[in-house]
Structure 1
């Protein structure tokens, strides 16, 4: 990285970008851009800021923070402590939310971030200006427009940070109309969801509300692990205002960490949408024990008692399920948000059997970022010369840079951390080579009773194949004139079939002596140790006695004893 940073310093291009972090997997976002003689640091979401300290002097002339999420902001405090005179700017709301990233050190956090107003250009240095536009996603989140007026021409860079075009419960979407005339030289844009397409936001909310409603109707409690800022508050507003829950005799418990984010939202209430402010005039935005459903703070000592009657609990993402799933509590539904930048959802297979047999774990989509259609829509409206994709898995970003509609119009880049990107502006620039082809040609065969689709085995070299082909089962649906395929995961398959009644005379895993916690525990079986479906079968099937089926819903006791021993 040091050599690339040195190349950044020696480059003669008026515009260049050097990423210290681009948001791959757990990596934060931190981008150093040059405009003429100036260096600007966009976000500092990296845990280790040592690469910013190598020269012994500030890495930039100023720092601009797009929003308060930790993957964009957690390194700012350390950067300020290293260089107290380095100016750091953000929107007014972001400057108020930033301290939540260091809540465990609240007493020692200085007020180091200077607030900027919306849509008011500020000149920081001679010829260098910045202007903030709301970007959706999170209260205070900003798209940052940088302008440098040089000797011969002006240059512009637009950095979206994390953006969302749709309105959510607590944040209005990015206003495309306000940016349509910008036409920046460089657009730095997130691609969290790649080319994926999502249902309408309201449809996502209704699907989630209906799933929670079904769980409560079945006398299950619902556990929602969420970040302390953003999604948790969105879920609370959804639960308090959705027709399936308004007026319902139900308790919603909020862990103290998530509650800290709620309190911060109350401090910025005048900056929230008018509809939210109107809601708050008639009842409390979050904390209310009179209006149903009741929303209450959850003290640690109350965790073990919350599951005795159906309720909803919002907890931190690192929650230990065992503190809620006590022996005397009822069944639980754990709903985990789909993470667009990660290929694998959290694994709960290590849970003790007495917890796992009463706990159902599912994922849901309540997007906080724009999908592929929204991403390309914004690009086409802005018509930049260069597009730099960040904040997504490398495979998702490669999907975007492979799109013909983008390849034919813009200079596309998807750098990794430590990779210098020079951004020449002129007619002689050559489009970087397109990523490896991601389309696969196959054959379709239509038989009397089924249709087969054959694809080349090169498709299995993509890192996403492991998840897609996990169970060997797929689901197909029409999307206009296109047929979309998706793999069914083990967890989803188990969820779909967990309530299916298996005939008691069928020789299958659901009736086998050795099936327990959705796994086979027969050492003689080729499926030993693997998750199996109730309808599965192997040659060493042994029927479970009726009492074992009654006790464990068709899962055998012999395997249980062997596992425990």
Structure 2
């Protein structure tokens, strides 16, 4: 029997990257290298390569950041990716000028089987999610028997602003022996991508029209460029007298995107024929590169696409207008924590939700499925789906686990832990009480759900969905409550900017303060009152 197995160096739980070693017969293929420390792949005998071939699915850091170190340690190890991915890879090493990053990754064409070895071929299919993102189909032939393995990397069936979705029709009925697939969103269901874009555009529009600037921290490639295209083309912003600033790391990604224009959807190429895709100081809204010498003017609201690792305090102190920070929500992961009150999250999906994931699986009809890339609970939700358990052999390995993949054996449905809970519902005169068993608190998701003891309930079709309200959301709701203009407090003070005191004569100068705080240096923004409440007069 041909040996088929997968060694999960890192499966992408929490903030870990993806790094998988699959063995097909005599061949060892490394799928992605998104780990920061490649010591797992090295050994005392430097001549012994950790794999025969490396395939990189796309240029995001959690899939590619370890490739440069891997190449420097094993320069003879061949590394392959799509042409677009090879161009975007340097964004993973911002400490190096792009011209100094060695060209170590070999490009492969789309939709054309390439012979890597005499009995092993690889074919690339667009995976959506990010320009150049790839689903790899490996085909191994031995003794008149063909074995197929499909690795999706990160994938998205829906179209986004700069990327067309995975072409499901090209893969339908493929019947791979092994499918290695991401489960970032678990079984959750989300609205269509375009609806989420409209929701985000409306929130930004509300902020700008109320005189509030918006800061959007993003990674160097992907989300930042998607947001720029949204802001450039959405009817809320076209023709509006508005400055959109872009920090340097994200700007580097924009520059590389401009070199790959022929790889983008036709709609994007048509847009670029009539106006610049990104940098434009003439057509409104203006898109400007933020350099150390150029700081966004504070006389009017602006939008800033910031690097996700930047220190945002430089924008929040001594500003003439208020600022809101919008953070991308990562289902199953904790969003970046910032010590600023005006912080909200938004969801802009770039992975398939539960419906899209199962749709792809049923169209492929594999024998084995290995779920990776997602929080363990989300992956467990997928492996517990009865519609999958009854048809396929499911695996969700932890880091360091070796998964053996026998082909053609009798399928025995695995026994998995129960994740459904039975409770009781009591309808009283003034309220409805739902009682659940104590065992639900054993799940490590419970502390986040029950953080404040408050929940939000909504209908989703015929089902009732219960969602816990976090402290951040509760504080955000509290900070928006009405404050009487006659009340002497920081929220009504002339020097209250971005939740910080900007009065140099106040003992609170430069510190974060609550809207209901107070100090003797109070000056009302609404009325010419003194701190004692008496109207000022000129003698």
Structure 1-normalised TM-score?
A: 0.85
Q: Tell me if 1:427 matches 2:409.
A: yes
> What corresponds to 1:401 in structure 2?
383
Q: CA deviation at 1:90?
A: 0.5
> What corresponds to 1:151 in structure 2?
143
Q: Residues 138 and 328 of structure 1: is their aligned pair in 2 closer, same or farther, counting only changes over 3 Å? A: closer
> What corresponds to 2:224 in structure 1?
232
Q: Tell me if 1:23 matches 2:4.
A: no
> What corresponds to 2:64 in structure 1?
73
> What corresponds to 1:348 in structure 2?
338
Counterpart selection for 2:461 from 480, 499, 502: 480
Residues in 1 aligned to 2:428 and 2:519: alpha-carbon distance in whole angstroms: 42
Q: How does 1:439-518 map to 2 (within 5 A)?
A: 439-501=420-482
Residues in 1 aligned to 2:65 and 2:447: alpha-carbon distance in whole angstroms: 32
> What corresponds to 2:291 in structure 1?
299
Q: CA deviation at 1:308?
A: 3.7
Residues in 2 aligned to 1:300 and 1:469: alpha-carbon distance in whole angstroms: 43
Q: Which moved more, 1:51-60 or 1:222-231?
A: 51-60
> What corresponds to 2:326 in structure 1?
335
Query: Deviations for 1:439-463, whole angstroms, at most 9, x for unmatched residues?
Result: 1111000011111111112212222
Does structure 2 conserve the Cα–Cα contact (< 8 Å) formed by 1:306 and 1:324?
no
Q: Tell me if 1:413 matches 2:371.
A: no
Q: CA deviation at 1:61?
A: 1.2
Q: CA deviation at 1:374?
A: 0.6
Q: CA deviation at 1:551?
A: 8.2
Q: CA deviation at 1:300?
A: 2.0
SS in 2 for 1:296: strand
Q: CA deviation at 1:103?
A: 3.1
Q: Residues 109 and 456 of structure 1: is their aligned pair in 2 closer, same or farther, counting only changes over 3 Å? A: same
Q: Tell me if 1:218 matches 2:200.
A: no
Q: CA deviation at 1:82?
A: 1.3
Residues in 1 aligned to 2:523 and 2:433: alpha-carbon distance in whole angstroms: 37
Does structure 1 conserve the Cα–Cα contact (< 8 Å) formed by 2:390 and 2:413?
no
Moved over 4 A (4+): 502-506, 531-534, 543-552
Q: Residues 548 and 174 of structure 1: is their aligned pair in 2 closer, same or farther, counting only changes over 3 Å? A: same
Q: Tell me if 1:314 matches 2:305.
A: yes
> What corresponds to 1:163 in structure 2?
155
SS in 2 for 1:93: helix
> What corresponds to 2:507 in structure 1?
none
Q: CA deviation at 1:108?
A: 3.7
Does structure 1 conserve the Cα–Cα contact (< 8 Å) formed by 2:58 and 2:153?
yes
Residues in 2 aligned to 1:32 and 1:392: alpha-carbon distance in whole angstroms: 18
SS in 2 for 1:476: strand
Q: CA deviation at 1:86?
A: 1.1
Q: How does 1:191-210 map to 2 (within 5 A)?
A: 191-210=183-202
> What corresponds to 1:44 in structure 2?
33
Residues in 2 aligned to 1:346 and 1:74: alpha-carbon distance in whole angstroms: 20
Counterpart selection for 1:392 from 363, 371, 374: 374
Q: Residues 549 and 418 of structure 1: is their aligned pair in 2 closer, same or farther, counting only changes over 3 Å? A: farther
Q: CA deviation at 1:498?
A: 2.8
Counterpart selection for 2:362 from 380, 388, 398: 380
> What corresponds to 1:368 in structure 2?
350
Does structure 2 conserve the Cα–Cα contact (< 8 Å) formed by 1:493 and 1:533?
no
Structure 2-normalised TM-score?
A: 0.89
Residues in 1 aligned to 2:454 and 2:523: alpha-carbon distance in whole angstroms: 27
Q: Which structure 1 segments of 5+ residues have no match?
A: 1-11, 350-355, 511-516, 519-530, 535-542, 558-565
Q: CA deviation at 1:430?
A: 3.4
> What corresponds to 2:233 in structure 1?
241
Residues in 2 aligned to 1:478 and 1:114: alpha-carbon distance in whole angstroms: 50
Q: Which moved more, 1:175-184 or 1:272-281?
A: 175-184
Flag the structure with higher helix content.
1
Q: Which moved more, 1:388-397 or 1:465-474?
A: 465-474
Q: Residues 130 and 328 of structure 1: is their aligned pair in 2 closer, same or farther, counting only changes over 3 Å? A: closer
Residues in 2 aligned to 1:500 and 1:254: alpha-carbon distance in whole angstroms: 32
Q: CA deviation at 1:187?
A: 0.5
Q: CA deviation at 1:309?
A: 1.8
Does structure 2 conserve the Cα–Cα contact (< 8 Å) formed by 1:24 and 1:341?
no
Query: Deviations for 1:324-378, whole angstroms, at most 9, x for unmatched residues?
Result: 1122431111000001341x222223xxxxxx4xx51000001111111111111
SS in 1 for 2:401: coil
Does structure 2 conserve the Cα–Cα contact (< 8 Å) formed by 1:186 and 1:387?
yes
Residues in 1 aligned to 2:525 and 2:431: alpha-carbon distance in whole angstroms: 39
Q: CA deviation at 1:547?
A: 10
Residues in 2 aligned to 1:273 and 1:89: alpha-carbon distance in whole angstroms: 23
Matched residue count: 503
Compute the RMSD of aligned alpha carbons: 2.6
Does structure 1 conserve the Cα–Cα contact (< 8 Å) formed by 2:173 and 2:365?
no
Does structure 1 conserve the Cα–Cα contact (< 8 Å) formed by 2:389 and 2:414?
no
Residues in 2 aligned to 1:73 and 1:544: alpha-carbon distance in whole angstroms: 50
Does structure 2 conserve the Cα–Cα contact (< 8 Å) formed by 1:91 and 1:141?
yes
Residues in 1 aligned to 2:412 and 2:514: alpha-carbon distance in whole angstroms: 52
> What corresponds to 1:113 in structure 2?
105
> What corresponds to 1:259 in structure 2?
251
Counterpart selection for 1:32 from 21, 24, 32: 21
Residues in 2 aligned to 1:97 and 1:345: alpha-carbon distance in whole angstroms: 25
Does structure 1 conserve the Cα–Cα contact (< 8 Å) formed by 2:168 and 2:360?
yes
SS in 2 for 1:428: coil
